[in-house]
Amino acid sequence: MGMGKNVSEVTDSEFKAKVLDSPVPVLVDFTATWCPPCRAIKPSLEELAAQYQGKAAVVAVDVDVSQATSQQFGIRAMPTLLMFKGGKVVNQLVGAAPKAKLEELITKAL
């Protein structure tokens, strides 16, 4: 699945290192290639990833590829956005949302 240049895809095997052990807060987009609302928010996530580079990270988890991680966090609807800080979920949002709402997840975690 082609991710943009700022939002990298994280798989089950990388999730602990890239998200749970991250020194900065990480916004995780649980997404799927077949999901139109997921595609709709992708440009906003790309912009936010660039905007907050160094302060927070934005990554994507393809639910079809990384089923263990998706199950671990009980993901049922796409897109589901989970905000991680210090290895814990501090906020979440289900469904496509405007950029300002997505950005709020990041700013509240900083």
Active site residue 70: no
Q: How far is CA 3 from the centre of its chain?
A: 12
pLDDT score recorded for residue 110: 97
| Domains assigned to the chain | 8-109 (3.40.30.10)
56-78 pLDDT, tens digit each: 999 999 999 999 999 999 999 99
Catalytic residue among 3, 38, 57, 97: 38
Residues 8 and 88: their CA atoms lie apart, in Å, by 20
Residue 1 pLDDT exceeds 50: no
6-43 pLDDT, tens digit each: 999 999 999 999 999 999 999 999 999 999 999 999 99
Active site residue 88: no
Catalytic residue among 24, 35, 65, 94: 35
pLDDT score recorded for residue 5: 86
End-to-end CA distance of the chain: 29
42-46: average pLDDT: 97
